[in-house]
């Protein structure tokens, strides 16, 4: 299992949102490239980057920083935020990143994103689904910065994209994201049980190093962590120890 550090960019700064709320922003005094280089020295190889400005406006406001991260961090980079058309998708891929992360439009415009998958191939795209557990216990995908329900279960979307050759998926339990309340291991265990050939990245709620082993046992390919690393709840020394023992 990979540990995937997350860098969220807002106005060129490293930030974290609480449950995706732009009114609840924590800012961190880190240069994004220097931070990524520290992660690389700790043995981490894949970086998750979100252009929050792009997510709000659809414009690649942090593209220059993302390009710097791809060129100067020593890490492979997957990046997303506001991917709503082919032009934005191709611009990000041309910036030097490994994979582009596609979120809301994968739920609202499946025919379009399936075409992108066919054009780019399964190793260039991560489909990201933000879910909330509904009253019937099923994960429903939300869109537009978690403000709109889609009426679609996560399982329906995974069926659709796996049938078309997708391989990489990022799943965020929005009730946990940015809260340090613990990851939803039951959700990720069920994802892997239903779709053993898919490579899942778990996101939301990681609070301590103790959870890394627990998450590893679910079978996910990676765990994304942002706030825990930035707040020191998960130290790079603990990360290195986990990687050495994995």
Looking at CATH, the fold of the domain delimited by 2-245 is given as TIM Barrel (3.20.20)
> What number is the average pLDDT over the span 93-97?
96
Look at residue 176 in the predicted model and tell me its pLDDT.
75
Specify the higher pLDDT residue, 100 or 180.
Answer: 100
Q: pLDDT value at position 20? A: 64
Q: For 96-130, write each residue's pLDDT tens digit.
A: 999 999 998 999 999 999 999 999 999 999 999 99
Sketch the domain layout of the chain as residue ranges.
Answer: 2-245
Please tell me the least confidently modeled range out of 12-21, 48-57, 82-91: 12-21
Three-state SS for 44? coil
Q: Does residue 5 register a pLDDT over 80?
A: yes
Are 125 and 161 spatial neighbours (Cβ–Cβ below 8 Å)?
no
Residue in 51, 61, 130, 173 annotated catalytic: 130
Active site residue 130: yes
Region 143-165 average pLDDT: 84
Provide mean pLDDT across the span 232-243. Answer: 94
Instruction: State the first-to-last Cα distance of the chain, in angstroms, to the nearest integer.
Output: 8
**156-175 pLDDT, tens digit each:** 999 999 999 999 999 998 88
Question: What is the structure's pLDDT at 177?
Answer: 66
Longest dimension (CA), the chain: 46
19 confidence band (pLDDT: 50, 70, 90):
low
Check 8, 51, 53, 173 and give the catalytic one. Answer: 8
SS3 content of the chain, % helix, strand, coil (to 5): 35, 30, 35
Q: What does the pLDDT look like over 186-200, one tens digit per residue?
A: 999 999 999 999 999
Percent of all residues in the chain with a pLDDT value above 90, rounded to a whole number: 69
Mean pLDDT of the chain: 90
Confidence (pLDDT) at 23: 63
């Amino acid at each position: 299992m990979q540990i995937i550090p997350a860098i969220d960019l807002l106005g060129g700064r490293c930030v974290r949102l609480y449950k995706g709320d732009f009114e609840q922003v924590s800012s961190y005094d880190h240069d994004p490239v220097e931070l990524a280089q520290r992660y690389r020295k700790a043995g981490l190889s894949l970086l998750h980057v979100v252009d929050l400005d792009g997510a709000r406006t659809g414009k690649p406001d942090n593209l220059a920083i993302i390009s710097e991260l791809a060129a100067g961090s020593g890490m492979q980079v997957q990046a997303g935020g506001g991917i709503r058309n082919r032009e934005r998708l191709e611009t990000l891929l041309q910036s030097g990143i490994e994979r582009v992360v596609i979120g809301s439009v994968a739920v609202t415009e499946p025919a379009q994103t399936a075409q992108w998958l066919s054009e780019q191939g399964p190793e260039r795209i991560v489909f990201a689904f933000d879910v909330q557990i509904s009253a019937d216990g099923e994960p429903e995908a939300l869109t537009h910065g978690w403000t709109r329900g889609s009426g679609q279960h996560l399982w329906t979307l995974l069926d659709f994209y796996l049938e078309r050759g997708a391989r990489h998926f990022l799943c965020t339990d929005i009730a946990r994201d940015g809260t340090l309340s613990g990851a939803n291991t039951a959700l990720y265990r069920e994802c892997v049980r239903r779709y053993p050939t898919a490579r899942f990245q778990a996101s939301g709620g990681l609070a301590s190093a103790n959870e890394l082993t627990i998450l590893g046992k679910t079978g996910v390919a990676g765990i994304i962590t942002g706030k825990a690393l930035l707040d020191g709840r998960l130290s790079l020394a603990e990360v290195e120890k986990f990687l050495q023992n994995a």
